[in-house]
Homo-oligomer: A and B are copies of this chain.
Amino acid sequence: MKSNRPKYKQIIDAAVVIIAENGYHQAQVSKIAKQAKVADGTIYLYFKNKEDILISLFQEKMGYFVEQIELEISGKESAQDKLLVLIKKHFQILSDDVHLAVVTQLELRQSNKELRLRINDVLRGYLNLIDSIIIEGKETGAFLPDLSVKLARQMIFGTIDETATTWVMNDQKYSLPKQAEAVHQLLLGGCACKN
């Protein structure tokens, strides 16, 4: 398995740093190679091309997201609690690794449509996680029985993503994790007054 070879992670991590610090379009392969302390050519022993570095980067990190969130979710009983954990963990991981946050929220979105379609494939695993919470919520009666899974997922992911992007764009001036509970509340209850 390629990801076991010594320089694989080295290059991925270098890519995160270089992209975060220089931006997507200034993240030349040679810069990544230098940061990873390997030769330019070595990159191509581990990755098919530059795009493959980015896909792999996203896979590794998004895999970590799913893994971490699944781990924490497993201890929770209700769909509502699971959703809270998902939001909290999502915000926590980004907050803990600002480089990663900049890369996923801003830089990687500058990739071309094709790359973004492939990134969406990777994202699928995360969206499935959200879907499973929604489905469980509907089954247990925690969520509305006629909730559209797709729409609900779009609202949940869209809101989390927009909140994270706004935070990054504002130079992380405030605490993202502290917003988790309010976001959770909002997603569950909506904007409207129930009087």
Contact = CB atoms under 8 A, between A and B. Distances in A.
Interface string A155-195: 11111111100100100000000010011001111111111
Interface residues of A, number: 52
A12 interface: no
Contacts of A156: 191
Copies in the complex: 4
Would you call the interface of chain A mostly helix, strand, loop, or mixed?
A: helix
Contacts of A141: 193, 195
Contacts of A112: 23-25, 110
A80 interface: yes
Nearest 6 pairs between A and B by C-beta?
A158-B162, A190-B190, A158-B158, A188-B192, A189-B190, A155-B159
14 contacts: A83-B191, A110-B111, A143-B191, A143-B193, A144-B192, A147-B186, A152-B191, A154-B162, A154-B163, A155-B186, A158-B158, A158-B160, A158-B163, A188-B192
